[in-house]
Amino acid sequence: MAELAADTILRVEGLKKHFPVRRGLLQRVVGSVKAVDDVSFSVQQGRTLGLVGESGCGKTTTGRMILRALDPTAGQVWFRQSDGQVVDMAALRGAEIKQARRDMQMIFQDPYSSLNPRMPVMDLIAEPLRARGWTRPDCESRVAELMDLVGLDARMIRRYPHAFSGGQRQRIGIARALALKPSLIVADEPVSALDVSVQAQILNLLQALQQDLGLTLVFIAHDLSVVRYLCDQVAVMYQGRIVEQGESEALFTAPRHPYTATLLQAAPAPDPHVPWMQDIDETETEAGDTTAPVELVDGTTAAGGCAFVPRCAHATDLCRQQGPILMPGSTRESQVQYGAAHLAACHHQDELQLRGI
């Protein structure tokens, strides 16, 4: 298979999603939001990729395009199905998509809105099975098995979602995603909506499931500590693009992009002795937005250059004029020190001395 290296299960190539912006009475299209703009990454079998970034940076959109819950504007999503066949999710049609989704599933952020309140747990978890023609008794035993797997009492099979707490609902969502024994799971902020004390339950469950079932996980989050806990690799997104990507440890301890460093600095550790934001000027305001830029049709495009310029303390004229490309460091030292797998989209990645954690 030319499109995928042997140990790779998913490779996203130049993925884009532009939403039209409509204005006025006639709802004319006046521009587009570049929610995801030229995103590429790959995930190896059995590993966990963390997709982090602040709200509106395009994480959900990326995740949904992988599963083809959204149609990409451009790009490819190469995915190795369990039968060994490599398909481009972005180019599949009807029945083929359904076939591919047997092997890839999604866990949603909101455990309340993602479960139809009008269906008992049995029907919710069995939905992917029913859609593939399983008989009711078969479904029933599989659902009981799945509930057991995610730590729900199978006696609750006839209950409706309103009888479950947030954490339990998320377990239902996980069981449902696992129903067809997928090999890839996209988890979109699966713990953000949960109680603090329950988050660890779900994180540990995901980790255990991943190891026992050999799952590959694309884990979307905005909380870096959760990502560090769970992920092998991390991709940091900013305004619809990946700005830094690498092995989790390397990225957290020696960030190569100023934005990653900012994120790391800003997260308060639950420990009063760890210094936090000591040298940050809080009056410096939220210049620039994290959300994707709107590009108007009438030609007023965002200026070239790096999107992070308004918030970057290291910006130079080069940054303002020319957009950086996501690539490994170019000096020999950085090649040796960071390897070719640690990519950053910053002109000055080789010179900057950024603090990690």
Partner 1 sequence: MRDPVTNERHGAEPLLEVLDLRVRIERDTGLVHPLNGVSFRIQEGQSVGIVGESGCGKTMASNALLRILPRRAEITHGSMQFRTQAGDRIDLAQLDPMSRRMRQIRGGEISMIFQEPMTAFSPVHTVHDQIAEMIRLHDPGADKEEQHRRVVELLDQVGIPDPEQRAFDYSFQLSGGMRQRAMIAMALASGPRLLIADEPTTALDVTVQARVLKLIERMQRELNLALMLITHDLGVVAHMVSYVYVMYLGRVVEEGPVEAIFDNPKHPYTAALLRSIPNLASKSRRLEPIEGNVPSADRLPTGCPFHTRCTEKVGDICQQRMPARVELSVGHAVSCFRYTEESLDDG
Partner 2 sequence: MTQATPPRVEPDAGPDLAFASQWRLMWLRFRRHRLAMVAGVVLLVLYFGAVFCEIIAPLGAGQRHRSYVLCPPQEVRLVDAAGDFHFRPFLYGVKQRGNPSDWLREYVVDTSVVYPIHFFTRGPEYEMWGLFATNWHLFGADEGAPLFLFGTDELGRDLFTRILYGSRISLTIGLVGVALTFFIGILLGGVAGYFGGWIDIIVQRGIEIIMAIPQLPLWMALSAALPAHWPPLHVYFGITIILSFMGWTGLARVVRGKFLTMRDEDFVVAARLAGTHELKIIFTHLLPSFLSHVITSATLAVPGMILGETALSFLGIGLQDPVVSWGVLLQKAQNFQAVVMAPWLLLPGLFVVFAVLAFNIVGDGMRDAADPYAN
Q: Positive or negative CA dihedral for 271, 195, 225, 228?
A: positive
Q: Where does this chain touch partner 1 (CB under 8 A) — which range of 9-17, 92-100, 177-185, 272-280? A: 272-280
Neighbours of 83 (CB within 10 A): 8
State both tokens at 264: 């790391």
CA distance 134 to 180: 11
Decide if residue 58 touches ligand ATP (CB under 6 A). Answer: yes
Q: Where does this chain touch ligand ATP (CB under 6 A) — which range of 58-66, 225-233, 246-254, 311-319? A: 58-66
Reference 215, options 191, 175, 186, 173; nearest CA is: 186
Helix (H) or strand (E) holding 168: helix 166-178
Kindly tell me which residue out of 24, 270, 299, 304 binds partner 1, with binding defined by CB under 8 A: 270
CA distance 295 to 18: 10
CB 36 within 8 A of CB 65: yes
Shortest CB 344 distance to ligand ATP, Å: 20
Q: Which is nearer to partner 1, 253 or 321 (CB)?
A: 253
Decide if residue 200 touches partner 1 (CB under 8 A). Answer: yes
Shortest CB 300 distance to Mg ion, Å: 28
65 binding partner (options Mg ion, partner 1, ligand ATP, none; Cβ < 5 to 8 Å by kind): none
| Single-letter amino acid, residue 270 | P
CA torsion, ordered 185, 186, 191, 193, to nearest 10 deg: -130
Decide if residue 60 touches Mg ion (CB under 5 A). Answer: yes
Q: Where does this chain touch partner 1 (CB under 8 A) — which range of 122-130, 177-185, 279-287, 312-320? A: 279-287
Q: Which is nearer to ligand ATP, 17 or 342 (CB)?
A: 17
Shortest CB 190 distance to partner 2, Å: 13
Residue 197 DSSP code: H
Place of tokens 């040298």: 279
CB 190 within 8 A of CB 197: no
Q: Which is nearer to partner 1, 91 or 266 (CB)?
A: 266
Residues 103-142 that bind partner 2 (CB under 8 A): 105-106, 108, 110, 113-120, 127-128, 130-132
CA distance 250 to 344: 12
Shortest CB 229 distance to partner 1, Å: 4
Decide if residue 340 touches partner 1 (CB under 8 A). Answer: no
Residues 157-196 that bind partner 2 (CB under 8 A): 158-160, 162-163, 167-168, 171, 173, 176, 179
